[in-house]
A and B are shown apart, each in its own frame.
Chain A
Amino acid sequence: NAGVTQTPKFQVLKTGQSMTLQCAQDMNHNSMYWYRQDPGMGLRLIYYSASEGTTDKGEVPNGYNVSRLNKREFSLRLESAAPSQTSVYFCASMSPGLGLEGQFFGPGTRLTVL
Chain B
Amino acid sequence: AQSVSQHNHHVILSEAASLELGCNYSYGGTVNLFWYVQYPGQHLQLLLKYFSGDPLVKGIKGFEAEFIKSKFSFNLRKPSVQWSDTAEYFCAVSHSGSARQLTFGSGTQLTVLP
Q: Which residues of B contact A107 (CB under 8 A)?
A: 42-43
The docked-state distance in angstroms from the alpha carbon of A107 to that of B32 is: 24
Residue of chain A at shortest CB distance from B48 = A102
Q: Are A41 and B99 in contact (CB under 8 A)?
A: no
Q: Which residues of B contact A101 (CB under 8 A)?
A: 46, 49
Q: Are A42 and B107 in contact (CB under 8 A)?
A: yes
Q: Are B90 and A45 in contact (CB under 8 A)?
A: no
Q: Which residues of A contact B42 (CB under 8 A)?
A: 107
Q: Which of B29-43 contact A (CB under 8 A)?
A: 32, 34, 36, 42-43
Give the contact-size bracket for chain B: 20 to 34
* A53 on interface, CB distance cutoff 8 Å: no
Which of A48, A102, A105, A106 has a CB less than 8 Å from the CB of B101? A48
Which of A31, A42, A50, A94 has a CB less than 8 Å from the CB of B104? A42
How many A-B pairs fall under 8 Å by CB? 56
* B44 on interface, CB distance cutoff 8 Å: yes
Name B's interface SS. Answer: loop
Q: Are B44 and A105 in contact (CB under 8 A)?
A: yes
The docked-state distance in angstroms from the alpha carbon of A96 to that of B49 is: 17
The docked-state distance in angstroms from the alpha carbon of A7 to that of B87 is: 24
Which of A98, A102, A106 has a CB less than 8 Å from the CB of B43? A106
* A100 on interface, CB distance cutoff 8 Å: yes
Q: Which residues of B contact A45 (CB under 8 A)?
A: 101-103
Q: Are A99 and B106 in contact (CB under 8 A)?
A: no
Q: Are A100 and B51 in contact (CB under 8 A)?
A: yes
Q: Would A102 and B106 be within 8 Å (CB), given that A43-B90, A107-B43 are in contact? A: no
Contact mask A85-114 → B, CB, 8 Å, 1/0?
000001010100011111111111000000
A interface, CB within 8 angstroms of B: 4, 31, 35, 40-45, 48, 50, 58, 90, 92, 94, 98-108
